[in-house]
Amino acid sequence: MTTILDGKTCADKILDNIKEQVSKLDTTPGLAVILVGNNPASSIYVKNKEKKAQYAGFNSIIHKLPKNTTKESLLNLIEKLNKDCNIDGILLQLPLPKHLNTYDFLDKIDPKKDVDGFHPINAGKLLLNEKPYAIPCTPKGIIRLLKTHNIQIEGKNAVIIGRSNIVGKPLSMLLLNENATVTIAHSKTKNLPEITKKADILISATGTENMVTAEMVKKNATIIDVGIIRKDDGKLRGDVDFDAIKDVASNITPVPGGIGPMTIAMLMENTLELHLLKTRTKE
Ligand code: GUN
């Protein structure tokens, strides 16, 4: 029988737990999200993050900047937020408009407020298996969902399709730190089905519909779908041909209701952790 890995239920439990912890604090965690331009998908993600931050009891601030924002004004805002003692987490929503270079900004965020874990110091700590201030939310959410369902990672063949800095690369480090044998496949990989067929845990993070078909999946594998594709009818699809694969796999995440909610829950967890780090180091 196939288990549907219900990320929504798991994420709701995590959020309720965060909300309860926050209600017992004398202080309020603060999350600042910066959205540059009007990418429709980013606007939806940011709205969802704001909703959950408010639910958790955080101080949630969205900074919406116009598409033609200059490098200087974005750097000024980051600097201001770095200094703001009411803000524990700073998230710069990606992608940025083309005239702005992502790493000109990500490495200016204080690593102790880098709620995405994208700063080179946090990425380096993850690489070295030293505790980063924050771990990237989507990879962290994937590991959490696997562990919540008691899916063994150690010694398993994990194949990731996609080598992004947001998902594929940090996830490869987390899986390696959990003692999986990790393969990263990408757009130039040859004989992809041959590789994916060996996966005990297969993670697809490409944003391409039907990237993973039933013929590419080993029987009883665990399938994690990170893709979020919005169709013309407004419905969301993932990378994985869910209907064809659900009877081959032993565990599979749905889209929506799988990794998406887990990502947001991990963002809230990271914000709370950074807040507690700040307040406890002050004591
Ligand atoms: N865009 C898509 N996913 C993410 C994410 O996890 N963090 C940020 N900052 N931008 C994103």
- With a 6 Å cutoff on the Cβ, whether 39 touches ligand 1 is no
pLDDT band (50, 70, 90) for residue 1: confident
What distance lies between CA 81 and its chain's CA centroid? 22
d(CA 199, CA 161): 11
- With a 6 Å cutoff on the Cβ, whether 122 touches ligand 1 is no
93 part of the active site: yes
- With a 6 Å cutoff on the Cβ, whether 92 touches ligand 1 is yes
Does the bond joining 193 to the residue before it have cis omega, within 30 degrees of 0?
no
Give me the half-sphere count of Cα atoms (radius 13 Å) on the Cβ side of residue 28: 13
Q: Which pLDDT value is given to residue 281?
A: 81
Q: 33, 34, 42, 91: which to mutate for ligand 1, most atoms within 8 A of CB?
A: 91
The residue-averaged pLDDT of 144-173 equals 98
Percentage of the chain lying above the pLDDT 70 cut: 99
Which ligand 1 atom minimizes the distance to the CA of 95?
1
- In terms of pTM, does the model score above 0.95? yes
pLDDT of 186 higher than 80: yes
pLDDT of 144 higher than 70: yes
The residue-averaged pLDDT of 34-51 equals 96
SS3 154: coil
d(CA 230, CA 8): 18
pLDDT tens per residue across span 187-214 = 999 999 999 999 999 999 999 999 999 9
pLDDT band (50, 70, 90) for residue 283: low
Question: 252 C-alpha vs ligand 1 centroid, how far in Å?
Answer: 23
Name the catalytic one among 52, 88, 113, 116: 116
pLDDT tens per residue across span 227-257 = 999 999 999 999 999 999 998 999 999 999 9
Beta bridge partners of 158: 182, 201
202 burial via Cβ count (<10 Å: 0-12, 13-18, 19+): buried
SS3 177: helix
119 burial via Cβ count (<10 Å: 0-12, 13-18, 19+): buried
The residue-averaged pLDDT of 67-89 equals 98
The residue-averaged pLDDT of 220-232 equals 96
Strand order in the sheet with 222-225: 3-4, 251-252, 222-225, 201-204, 157-161, 181-185
21 part of the active site: no
| CB count in 10 Å sphere of residue 186 | 13
Whether 179 and 154 have beta carbons less than 8 Å apart is answered as yes
The candidate with the shortest Cα–Cα distance to 219, out of 248, 190, 262, is: 248
- With a 6 Å cutoff on the Cβ, whether 116 touches ligand 1 is yes
Q: Which two tokens stand for residue 59?
A: 């101080």
- With a 6 Å cutoff on the Cβ, whether 135 touches ligand 1 is no
The C-alpha angle with vertex 29 and arms to 85 and 46, in degrees rounded to 5, equals: 105
% helix / strand / coil in the chain, to the nearest 5?
45, 15, 40
Closest Cα to atom 11 of ligand 1: 94
What distance lies between CA 152 and its chain's CA centroid? 21
The residue-averaged pLDDT of 172-183 equals 98
d(CA 64, CA 33): 8
